[in-house]
């Protein structure tokens, strides 16, 4: 599944441990997961984080600041749900309650697209 990100999204900024718990329950449901309200909730969390990220990059550039990270032009950087989940699962279980989806998304983008 590819994540298409709307320009306007609002984040609840869910904790990583909560997000992964819901994601794992959905994975066990297989194709029926698409019918769950949790599927939409998790998708909205990632989409909102991506929108906030894009806004921060644009704001940094507009202000002449070095951006947080340097992704390729919009549209050429596609993230799959597997990419996102793999990154989220890379955090140790002990840290997950103190990390939000927004923070984890920003970390992922900094790792994938550092400014050289």
Q: pLDDT tens digits, residue range 6-65?
A: 334 445 789 999 999 999 999 888 888 888 889 999 999 999 999 999 999 999 999 999
Q: How many CB atoms lie within 10 A of CB 111?
A: 11
Range of the domain at 40: 16-112
Confirm whether 11 is domain-assigned.
Answer: no
Tokens at 75, concatenated: 């549209």
DSSP state of 71: P
Confirm whether 82 is domain-assigned.
Answer: yes
Dihedral angle sign, alpha carbons of residues 96, 101, 103, 109: positive
Interacting residues of 42 by C-beta distance below 8 A, sequence separation 6+: 19, 22, 23, 26
Confirm whether 52 is domain-assigned.
Answer: yes
Q: How many domains does the chain have?
A: 1
Cα–chain center distance at 31: 22
């Amino acid at each position: 599944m590819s994540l298409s990100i709307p320009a306007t999204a609002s984040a609840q900024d869910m904790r990583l441990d909560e997000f992964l718990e819901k994601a794992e329950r959905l994975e066990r449901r297989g194709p029926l997961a698409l019918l769950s309200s949790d599927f939409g909730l998790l998708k909205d969390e990632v989409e909102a984080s991506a929108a906030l990220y894009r806004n921060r990059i644009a704001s940094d550039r507009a202000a002449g600041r070095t951006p947080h990270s340097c992704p390729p032009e919009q549209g050429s950087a596609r993230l799959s749900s597997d990419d996102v989940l793999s990154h989220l699962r890379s955090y140790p279980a002990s840290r997950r309650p103190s990390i939000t989806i927004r923070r984890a998304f920003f970390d992922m983008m900094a790792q994938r697209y550092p400014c050289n």
